[in-house]
Amino acid sequence: MRKKYLVALDQGTTSSRAVVFTLAGELVASASQEFAQIYPQPGWVEHQPEDILRSQLASLKEAVANANIAPESIAAIGIANQRETTLVWDKNTGECVHNAIVWQCRRSAPYVDRLKSEGLDSDVRQRTGLVPDAYFSATKLQWLMEEGGLRARAERGELLFGTVDSFLAWHLVEGHPRVTDATNAARTMLFNLHTQSWDDDLLRLFGIPAQLLPRVVDTAEVIGLLRNDILGVSIPVAALAGDQHAALFGQRCVGHGMVKNTYGTGCFMLMNIGDAFRLSDNGLLTTLAWRIGGKPVFALEGSVFVAGAVVQWLRDELGLINKASETETLAMSVVDNGGVYLVPAFAGMGAPYWDMRARGTLVGVTRGTTRGHLVRAALESIAYQSNDLMRAMAADAGHVPASLRVDGGASANAFLMQFQADIMGVPVVRPRVVESTALGAAMLAGIAVGACEMPAENAADAGARVFTPNMDNKTRQEHLTGWSRAVDAARHWANHDAQ
C-alpha cells in the first residue's frame, strides 16, 4: 500500500496527543487525553508513568481511527515530548521504580544551591549551555539516587534512566531500544554540546552511574519499528525530539535568526543560531535545535515555567472560568487590566531571571477589581514573560527579530496574540496549522525515511494570520513599568521567604 501519511506522538505535560498528517503536512485528524498532575508537596510535581503510556497509546489509536486510514499507509511515526521530566525503570520489566519527576518540580533546588556555592555552575554552563537549575534532569536524577534510595540498584545495572522520549521508545518500539535523541540529551545537564556525548566529568559531579544512560541518536533517525500489537502493523519510529525543538522545526525556523514561541503549559522561545555554539550574555540557554545526519544546529532558548498553566489555575483552583476559551471574552470585557498584574511564579521564574524561589504574586488589586481584570492580568502575564525573553534574545543577537512565529494552545487566543504583538512591538505570525510541535516531529520522521525534504524558510507563512502591533510607545512603556514592579515584588517575597 502507498505510504501517504505521517503520525506524530506529542507527549505533553498535561496531556498526550497524536496527530495524523499527510506527507505535505496537512492535518488529517488528532486525538488527545489529559492525565493527572500529582503534587506531593509544595513545589513538587509528579506524573504516574502508567498514565503517560496509557494516554499516549489511547491517543495514537484514536487518532488513526479518526483519520479513517489504514495503518499500512503510515510512512513513519515521530515522537515529541515534554522535556527534562525524569523517569527510572527496571531494565527487565519496564516498570518504573518511582513516579516521573516533572520538569516543573523544584525538589532538587538544594542540589543546585550546593553546586553554585562550590563555584561549579560556570563549568556546567560552558559544557552544556545550560544555566544550572532544578528544571533540568541531572539534579532530579541525583535526588532519586541519594534520597529516592535507587543508587545501589543503579550501580548494579538493574535500572535505566530516560526522559519521556526514551521511556516511550523503550515501551512502544520492538526490541526495547535504549535511546534518546540529542535534543533531549541536551536538556539533562549531563550532555556536552561540544563533544555531542555524555560528559564523564558531569556524571561524576552529579553522582550518576553511566550504565543508567541511553544511547544518543540523531533527531531524525529510524530507531526501530512500532510494536505490531499496537496498530496491527510494524511502522518505522523515525524521530525523537524535545517538544520545543520539534516546534522550531515545525515552524520552519531553519534560517539563522528565526524565532518561534510555543504557548503550552509553559512558554518556550527559541532562536536558530546556526551551527556554531555560543553562550548567551542575557540569561538565555544554549541548546540544540536538532541534529540531523550527525550535524548539530544550535539555538538560544528562554523558558517561561507557567504560561497556559495559569489558565488552568484560573479554571481548576480558583473556579473563575469553566473552560480556557472563556478567557478571551472575559479579558475583552474590561478596557484594561485596571492596574492589576499577576506574576505566575508558581514554580519559580525561568529566563532571564533564573530565580528558583520566586513565588506567584498578585498586585494592584482594589475593591473595583473584577473577574475580567484577573483573567486579563493572567493572559497579559504570558505576554509579558514572553517579551522578557524576546528582549534578551534581541540583546544577544544585536537586533530585534523581524517577527515572532507562534504556536501551541494559547496561540488560539486572539486577545493574547494581539497583546503579545503590542507589547513586543513586532508582528506575531500564527500559522494556519498551529500543531507545530506535532508537525515538526512528523516532518523529522518523514525526512528520516525519505518521505519528506528539509523545509524552506517561508513554508509556514501560507495562510498564516499576522497580528500587527498597534500600541503606542508611551502606553507600552507604562505597561512594561507596571510589569517590572510586579516582578520585583515576586522576587522580593521569595528572598524574604528564603531567609
CATH number of the domain that residue 210 is part of: 3.30.420.40
Rounded to 5°, the CA angle 304-310-314 comes to: 175
In a domain, 444, yes or no: no
Its sign, for the CA torsion 386, 392, 393, 399, is positive
- Domain count for the chain, please give it: 2
- CA separation for the pair 473, 382 (Å, rounded): 20
Q: Are residues 484 and 404 in the same domain?
A: yes
Spatial strand order of the sheet with 267-274 comes to 285-292, 295-304, 267-274, 259-263, 404-407, 428-430, 465-467
pLDDT attached to residue 283:
85
Amino acid at 160: L
Q: Are residues 231 and 335 in the same domain?
A: no
pLDDT of 454 higher than 70: yes
In a domain, 437, yes or no: no
Helix, strand or coil for residue 38? strand
Residue ending a domain, among 228, 244, 260, is 244
Q: Are residues 177 and 58 in the same domain?
A: yes
In a domain, 289, yes or no: no
pLDDT attached to residue 99:
96
Q: Are residues 216 and 346 in the same domain?
A: no
Q: Are residues 489 and 347 in the same domain?
A: yes
DSSP structure string for 411-479 = GG-HHHHHHHHHHHTS-EEE-S---HHHHHHHHHHHHHTTS--PPPTTGGGTT-EEE-----HHHHHHH
Residue with cell 503536512: 25
Q: Are 280 and 126 in contact (CB under 8 A)?
A: no
pTM: 0.87
pLDDT of 499 higher than 50: no
Q: Are residues 379 and 489 in the same domain?
A: yes
Q: What residue numbers bound the domain in which 353 lies?
A: 304-427+469-498
The two most distant CA atoms of the chain are separated, in Å, by: 67
In terms of C-beta density within 10 A (0-12 exposed, 13-18 middle, 19 or more buried), how is residue 369 classed?
A: middle
Q: Are 437 and 19 in contact (CB under 8 A)?
A: no
pLDDT of 64 higher than 80: yes
DSSP structure string for 250-292 = HTT--STT-EEEEESSSEEEEEEEETS----SSSPEEEEEEEE
In a domain, 170, yes or no: yes
- CA separation for the pair 396, 341 (Å, rounded): 28
Rounded to 5°, the CA angle 77-83-89 comes to: 85
- The fraction of the chain above a pLDDT of 90, given in percent, is 76
More confident residue, 398 or 499: 398
In a domain, 445, yes or no: no
Q: Which three cell numbers stand for residue 437?
A: 510541535
Return the half-sphere exposure (C-beta side, CA atoms, 13 A cut-off) of residue 479.
23
Q: Are 98 and 134 in contact (CB under 8 A)?
A: no
Q: Are 197 and 216 in contact (CB under 8 A)?
A: yes
According to DSSP, residue 86 is labeled B
For 283-296, what is each residue's pLDDT tens digit?
899 999 999 999 99
Q: Are 299 and 248 in contact (CB under 8 A)?
A: yes
In a domain, 484, yes or no: yes
pLDDT of 496 higher than 60: no
Outline where 147-231 has alpha helix (H): 151-155, 164-172, 182-185, 200-206, 228-231
In a domain, 462, yes or no: no
Nearest CA to 36 out of 55, 19, 22, 17 is that of 55
Neighbours of 392 (CB within 10 A): 21
Q: Are residues 118 and 21 in the same domain?
A: yes
- CA separation for the pair 122, 394 (Å, rounded): 23
Residue ending a domain, among 205, 224, 244, is 244
Q: Are residues 337 and 406 in the same domain?
A: yes
Q: Are residues 238 and 333 in the same domain?
A: no
Q: Are residues 219 and 323 in the same domain?
A: no
DSSP structure string for 92-140 = TT--BSS-EE-TT--TTHHHHHHHHHTT-HHHHHHHHS----TTSHHHH
| Range list of β-strands (E), 275-421 | 285-292, 295-304, 341-343, 361-363, 404-407
For 179-217, what is each residue's pLDDT tens digit?
999 999 999 999 999 999 999 999 999 999 999 999 999
For 75-122, what is each residue's pLDDT tens digit?
999 999 999 999 999 999 999 999 999 998 989 999 999 999 998 889
Which residues are CB-neighbours of 211 under 8 A, at least 6 positions away? Answer: 154, 155, 157
What is the overall mean pLDDT for the chain? 92
pLDDT attached to residue 304:
86
pLDDT of 320 higher than 80: yes
pLDDT of 488 higher than 80: yes
pLDDT attached to residue 351:
78
Provide the pLDDT confidence category of residue 459 given band limits of 50, 70 and 90: low
Q: Are residues 168 and 62 in the same domain?
A: yes
Residue ending a domain, among 229, 244, 259, is 244
- CA separation for the pair 489, 484 (Å, rounded): 9
pLDDT of 51 higher than 60: yes
- CA separation for the pair 217, 339 (Å, rounded): 50
Mean of the pLDDT values across residues 384-396? 93
Q: Are 415 and 331 in contact (CB under 8 A)?
A: yes
Q: Characterise 398 by phi-psi region: left (phi > 0), alpha (psi -120 to 50), beta (else).
A: left
- CA separation for the pair 389, 353 (Å, rounded): 10
In a domain, 269, yes or no: no
Instruction: Tell me if the bond preceding 352 is cis, omega within 30° of 0.
Output: yes
Provide the pLDDT confidence category of residue 264 given band limits of 50, 70 and 90: confident
